[in-house]
Chain A
């Protein structure tokens, strides 16, 4: 079913919207959650919570042209939030790896809560991505949006793992510089 029709079902408060969403995007959403939380049961919970939140958020939102990214954002948020809350009890290897990697992109004194509005940060990241080549954009987004492993990215695009690692390293360095220049630090 087309995204716009699925969104119509949400707007009409038709519960079949959820089954259609699950049918079309369930597997991909589960992949995103699984990349972070690393167990089937929890990732299924994250995806089910995603459907619940989507039900509550549509309307007022009408993501007819970006339904997957809309749902994916929710899944990411739920999975990240889950790890953040549970991290004290259990170490999630992928989550630790990702946060440790992305930590290097954070300018020295950046304190997001105190200093900036999150949307400004998002806009700045959008601007950063716009300045990249398509290849760089895809590598960055696959790693930090979809949470793909380096191995998976290298297979997807036919690059060596070292190329992916090198590219990510440079992109993180450049993101840090970009954020600094944008006033998100020091």
Chain B
């Protein structure tokens, strides 16, 4: 049996791989601990960075050569034929419906936003998860666009900061988050060139700009490909390309920052990350209080908003408590829609930068 033979062969791999896998283990930690660890680690990194700057001489920027192995190929006379390495791009998979994408992101938006917020310490800031994603071309003997892999970009402050990668197997949709590292700087740099097409090459991920400049988005290396082949056009299709305008990314081309009046943005879900612990505390307040008839506790709307006026909310905390507001006098709000007593309107709690629930909106 072929598969069994391959499993047998894997059984004989170098023992260092086996030892590594035996040693590596991470313990499961809860989110509150995670936040503390991240905060502590962040402080250490900043401290280390400051010390490093203090003790090191300025260092020349190292440049790296890419090791792209794209081979020039003869593209057919038919301009619609986007052949690579003499093989056409073929499609695989069934893809995702707009409804599937929306439902998945909508249902998990709090978790996704929280995960991103932990990574970038951007609680309360607006995150945009674009629902109009892109596939990649995989170079190989066959050049494949797999419709069952869909990458949705996540933007924060007009920059791409992560990807939600949708993945369909046996009809079941799952997703993973790709956050952190230098990848995003590299993608944002590539998007300075406007539109790019994405491709996988071996384990590398490439973004190819219209001028044939290729960015290795994992390492940040970039180089110009030979003019023999217009690689951007060759692999450019609607489903594997994305533009700075699509991302709503600020980019600096001849005309500077794009004109937001004329551009049409693809659909996105706008979320404001708030530590889910605080959302849970809001839920507890509802459950433990007189509002237990409210049954709809799922999917609260979380916002980062200006401080409500004194007559707009009821103060919960002691009057001696000093409410800590964010930049521009902002605070968080968590709003639950209601069912049983909907006539009174939604329930909204206000939370300050300490994570303290300091007030609730009047309901009448």
Contact = CB atoms under 8 A, between A and B. Distances in A.
25 contacts: A66-B15, A76-B8, A76-B11, A77-B11, A98-B7, A106-B2, A106-B6, A111-B2, A118-B5, A121-B6, A121-B9, A122-B13, A125-B10, A131-B202, A132-B203, A144-B7, A144-B10, A146-B21, A157-B26, A158-B26, A162-B176, A163-B176, A169-B169, A174-B202, A177-B202
B9 A125 contact: yes
A69 B18 contact: yes
Interface string A114-149: 000011011001100101101001100110111000
Interface string B1-36: 111111111111111011111101111110000000
A78 to B, nearest CB: 10
A125 B12 CA distance: 9
Given A165-B174, A174-B203, A125 B2 contact: no
Contacts of B174: 161-162, 165-166
B116 to A, nearest CB: 14
- Which interface residue of B10, B17, B18, B140 has the most chain A CB atoms within 10 A? B10
Interface of B: 1-15, 17-22, 24-29, 138, 140-141, 165, 167, 169, 174-177, 202-203
Contacts of A157: 24-26
Contacts, number: 135
Contacts of B6: 102, 105-106, 112, 121
B15 to A, nearest CB: 4
A11 B22 CA distance: 26
- Which interface residue of B2, B18, B21 has the most chain A CB atoms within 10 A? B21
A84 B14 contact: no
B17 A145 contact: yes
A158 B27 CA distance: 7
A126 B3 CA distance: 17
B167 to A, nearest CB: 5
- Which interface residue of B22, B177, B202 has the most chain A CB atoms within 10 A? B22
A137 B165 contact: no
Nearest to A178: B202
Contacts of B20: 134, 137-138, 141
Nearest to B165: A166
Contacts of B203: 131-132, 174
A80 interface: yes
Contacts of A66: 15, 18-19
Nearest to B218: A133
A121 B169 CA distance: 28
Nearest to B11: A76
Contacts of B5: 112-113, 118
B26 to A, nearest CB: 4
Contacts of A24: none
A145 B18 contact: yes
A20 interface: no
Q: Is the interface of B mostly helix, strand, loop or mixed?
A: mixed
A145 B2 contact: no
Interface residues of A, number: 57
A110 interface: yes
Contacts of A80: 4, 7-8, 11
Contacts of B177: 160, 163
A24 to B, nearest CB: 13
A132 B27 CA distance: 23
A62 interface: no
B114 to A, nearest CB: 13
Given A106-B3, A137-B17, 19 more contacts: A66-B18, A72-B11, A73-B11, A80-B4, A83-B4, A84-B1, A102-B10, A112-B2, A121-B6, A122-B9, A137-B21, A141-B13, A141-B17, A145-B17, A156-B26, A157-B26, A158-B27, A163-B176, A180-B141
Contacts of A134: 20, 24
Contacts of B15: 65-66, 69-70
Given A68-B18, A122-B12, A132-B203, A102 B3 contact: yes
Nearest to B26: A158
Contact of B140 (A83, A122, A142, A177): A177
Contacts of A174: 202-203
B20 to A, nearest CB: 6
User: 4 closest pairs, A vs B, by CB?
Assistant: A162-B174, A69-B15, A99-B3, A66-B15
Contacts of A102: 3, 6-7, 10
A177 B9 CA distance: 17
A66 B1 CA distance: 28
A158 B321 CA distance: 38
Contact of A68 (B3, B13, B14, B22): B22
B14 A129 contact: yes
Interface in A64-107: 65-66, 68-70, 72-73, 76-77, 80, 83-84, 98-100, 102-103, 105-106
Given A157-B25, A158-B28, A129 B3 contact: no
A13 interface: no
Nearest to A163: B176
